[in-house]
Chain A
């Protein structure tokens, strides 16, 4: 893999460097184009549809391809095919479509196909609350496809992050040859904010390279955890074979009868992500200096949590926030650090306990974990979180906010 500062197309340059009013979903689409994505396949679904709409207009302008497929299974399948043929590719969906995509997310994981899947979360299960935000897919993102595997999932909490994390998602996908999931939600996706987009050339863009060997040597060289070889595109002299079966990691040929080959592949697919956890995981810590109570919040809920931190600090209560930007791999180290410092961790989320279980496991009894879930499609307000913070400071005099 090589890293270059790619020249952005002219219409991007026109946007860069000045404040523009963008919707979260539009920012994902523009971020994808800036990252070099030239293929999108998708199926309309609320609240992600704007990503498809924008890319149907923008991709052909930059020589890319937009295809509206017959369903979400076909969408992610076409994305896999386009990526194998050398294009940076993405799809976007919401809960019901994300469920359908799990099959081919597993294929992309097994076959090590770089691609980006955007899930703009809405209330579920099933058709659920199509227009309302939720965070009920965070565990589906981790474990939705069958079998042992690892995954990278990023959670934007602003329009600007919809843009920057989409660029980062493509970089991670290329670097680790894996699907990367962006977990947006109906609030983040539909919200409009003024954002200043980066200047063309200032973004780090990971390009797919070619292996530094002759075609006849390719089948004899295996990637290592620190040197993940790029796969040549279909239609090259390398004549690669790509399969969803367990395969020999050197030749790529199916090998389902050798337990050692299966173990080697299975462990490699997990470790190629977890070995690089420190490089992949990003966490934002706000007012954690001297914090006695921490709020662990991600995505749109972190916006309410931030308001609580500001209010509490203004009133002299030492409250901080730990906001995972990377949800998977789970930011275990940051949570452990937090657990050593604070007496209470509050975990507000728009689901019931999905990440709070994970937080509890990492905290491991070192602090009290208070979970707070909502599944009614309504946002968790700062007032709600503040009500959870107050009892943790029994001797503090709170003024009305």
Chain B
């Protein structure tokens, strides 16, 4: 069992994007007040606790009413976050979190709906829902815990496992190229796209907060580490070494040149894409007005 709170992680803080809300890290007791339990089933060295804490920090930093926060999660290691957070929470079926969240947000637009998913959850089994939620520009915050592997089932390759990587279902090396989830979301129409890492804690909290504050579909990719499966098969089983590799691989978005080649060892972090267009629930409200006029006439 690993705890959700680790004071040492808080010290790491990469460059902050000036356009994003600055999130002051809250104390452990403030964080714990938003948790049903600080005991998790995540493996030692897993970064899901760090990402969860960053989410709570973002919610605290934005001063959201906790009663109006809803976390809808899929299935996998990331999905378990729904049981730990002390908000209204839904642990849905594998891949279906965004579709369920679409119904939640449409039925009660006053809610802040955050959708926690894994990489396979969001882009393999849930890939269809992912691109369509982005296309609709519905006001949800998709938080993807990307550890490049199926952890809960014991280390199988996912759509974000890199070419050549080893997993329990790619023992000779993965022959499939990986998705860049941020570019996928952008191409599908997401109006806020950002990436953070479990190493860059404050930036991660900041991009999550920016996503929640954004009115429209926000995609936040949290680069996670899975030392037990992904790391052991590929990079390193040492969580500290794994975290350090994120520091080396992540480049602040403003220092990343246009057209520069991206790879899993060289990728931009921070706010990657931001635009404004009519949000889906707002558009539905407009339709209701039209329909009422039509009904009256």
Contacts of A61 in B (CB 8 A): 291-292, 294-295
Evaluate whether A241 and B83 lie within 8 angstroms (CB atoms) in the complex, with A82-B107, A85-B108, A103-B93 already known: yes
Closest 9 CB pairs of A and B: A81-B103, A60-B291, A77-B99, A78-B103, A82-B103, A85-B107, A74-B99, A81-B100, A243-B91
Q: Is A2 an interface residue (CB 8 A)?
A: no
A240 touches B88 (CB 8 A): yes
B108 touches A233 (CB 8 A): yes
A235 touches B108 (CB 8 A): yes
Q: Is B4 an interface residue (CB 8 A)?
A: no
Q: Is A46 an interface residue (CB 8 A)?
A: no
Contacts of A70 in B (CB 8 A): 99, 128-129, 132
Chain A contact surface mostly? mixed
A243 touches B67 (CB 8 A): no
Contacts of A225 in B (CB 8 A): none
Most chain A beta-carbon neighbours within 10 Å: one of B101, B290, B295: B295
Evaluate whether A107 and B92 lie within 8 angstroms (CB atoms) in the complex, with A57-B291, A235-B70 already known: yes
Encoded as 1 (CB less than 8 Å from any A CB) or 0, chain B from 80 to 106 comes to 001100111111110010011111111
Among candidates A73, A236, A237, A245, residue contacting B96 with C-beta atoms closer than 8 Å: A73
A81 touches B132 (CB 8 A): no
Contacts of A243 in B (CB 8 A): 82-83, 90-91
**In the complex, what residue of chain A is closest to B73 when comparing beta carbons?**
A243
Q: Is B110 an interface residue (CB 8 A)?
A: yes
Encoded as 1 (CB less than 8 Å from any B CB) or 0, chain A from 32 to 49 comes to 000000110100000000
Q: Is A244 an interface residue (CB 8 A)?
A: yes
A89 touches B107 (CB 8 A): yes
How distant is B232 from chain A, measured CB to nearest CB, in Å? 26
Among candidates B67, B101, B107, residue contacting A65 with C-beta atoms closer than 8 Å: B107
Q: Is B207 an interface residue (CB 8 A)?
A: no
Name A81-140 residues within 8 Å CB distance of B. 81-87, 89, 103-104, 107
Contacts of B92 in A (CB 8 A): 77, 80, 107, 244
Contacts of A78 in B (CB 8 A): 99-100, 102-103, 106
B91 touches A254 (CB 8 A): yes
**In the complex, what residue of chain A is closest to B96 when comparing beta carbons?**
A77
Name B266-297 residues within 8 Å CB distance of A. 284, 287-288, 290-292, 294-295
Name A276-328 residues within 8 Å CB distance of B. none
How distant is B155 from chain A, measured CB to nearest CB, in Å? 21
Q: Is A79 an interface residue (CB 8 A)?
A: yes
The number of residues on chain B lying at the interface, defined by a beta carbon within 8 Å of a beta carbon of chain A, is: 42
Among candidates A60, A77, A104, A236, residue contacting B67 with C-beta atoms closer than 8 Å: A236
Contacts of A38 in B (CB 8 A): 107
Contacts of B190 in A (CB 8 A): none
Contacts of A265 in B (CB 8 A): none
A242 touches B102 (CB 8 A): no
B102 touches A239 (CB 8 A): no
Q: How far is the CA of A153 from the CA of B99 in the complex (A)?
A: 25
**Apart from A61-B295, A81-B106, 12 more pairs, CB < 8 Å:** A67-B102, A67-B103, A74-B129, A77-B92, A77-B100, A78-B100, A79-B103, A80-B103, A81-B107, A236-B88, A241-B91, A253-B36
Q: Is A234 an interface residue (CB 8 A)?
A: yes
Contacts of A220 in B (CB 8 A): none
Among candidates B82, B111, B291, residue contacting A85 with C-beta atoms closer than 8 Å: B111
How distant is B116 from chain A, measured CB to nearest CB, in Å? 13
Q: How far is the CA of A251 from the CA of B129 in the complex (A)?
A: 30
The number of residues on chain A lying at the interface, defined by a beta carbon within 8 Å of a beta carbon of chain B, is: 47
How distant is A285 from chain B, measured CB to nearest CB, in Å? 40
Q: Is B72 an interface residue (CB 8 A)?
A: yes
Q: Using CB atoms and an 8 Å cutoff, list the residues of chain B in contact with chain A.
A: 36, 66-70, 72, 75, 82-83, 86-93, 96, 99-108, 110-111, 128-129, 132, 284, 287-288, 290-292, 294-295
Q: Is A16 an interface residue (CB 8 A)?
A: no
Among candidates A57, A87, A239, residue contacting B87 with C-beta atoms closer than 8 Å: A239
Q: Is A69 an interface residue (CB 8 A)?
A: yes
Question: Can you list 15 residue pairs at the A/B interface with Cβ under 8 Å?
Answer: A61-B292, A65-B106, A67-B102, A77-B129, A78-B106, A81-B102, A81-B105, A84-B103, A234-B88, A234-B90, A234-B104, A235-B68, A235-B69, A239-B88, A244-B75
Evaluate whether A86 and B106 lie within 8 angstroms (CB atoms) in the complex, with A74-B128, A77-B96, A244-B91 already known: no
How distant is A163 from chain B, measured CB to nearest CB, in Å? 20
B103 touches A71 (CB 8 A): no
Among candidates B100, B108, B132, residue contacting A80 with C-beta atoms closer than 8 Å: B100
Q: How far is the CA of A10 from the CA of B295 in the complex (A)?
A: 9
A107 touches B93 (CB 8 A): yes
Contacts of A107 in B (CB 8 A): 92-93, 96
Q: How far is the CA of A388 from the CA of B291 in the complex (A)?
A: 53
Among candidates A74, A87, A253, residue contacting B102 with C-beta atoms closer than 8 Å: A74
Q: Is A11 an interface residue (CB 8 A)?
A: yes
Contacts of B67 in A (CB 8 A): 235-237, 239
Among candidates B68, B90, B91, B287, residue contacting A60 with C-beta atoms closer than 8 Å: B287
Evaluate whether A239 and B86 lie within 8 angstroms (CB atoms) in the complex, with A60-B292, A70-B132 already known: yes
Evaluate whether A60 and B100 lie within 8 angstroms (CB atoms) in the complex, with A82-B106, A234-B70, A234-B90 already known: no
Contacts of B287 in A (CB 8 A): 60
**In the complex, what residue of chain B is closest to A241 when comparing beta carbons?**
B89
**In the complex, what residue of chain A is closest to B138 when comparing beta carbons?**
A67
A65 touches B284 (CB 8 A): yes
**In the complex, what residue of chain A is closest to B69 when comparing beta carbons?**
A235
Contacts of B101 in A (CB 8 A): 81
A84 touches B99 (CB 8 A): no
Q: How far is the CA of A77 from the CA of B70 in the complex (A)?
A: 16
How distant is B140 from chain A, measured CB to nearest CB, in Å? 11
Q: How far is the CA of A103 from the CA of B69 in the complex (A)?
A: 26
How distant is B279 from chain A, measured CB to nearest CB, in Å? 14
Contacts of B284 in A (CB 8 A): 60, 65, 67
B72 touches A81 (CB 8 A): yes
Q: Is A63 an interface residue (CB 8 A)?
A: yes
Q: How far is the CA of A6 from the CA of B55 in the complex (A)?
A: 42
Contacts of B100 in A (CB 8 A): 77-78, 80-81, 84
Q: How far is the CA of A244 from the CA of B108 in the complex (A)?
A: 22
Q: How far is the CA of A241 from the CA of B104 in the complex (A)?
A: 14
Q: How far is the CA of A242 from the CA of B70 in the complex (A)?
A: 11
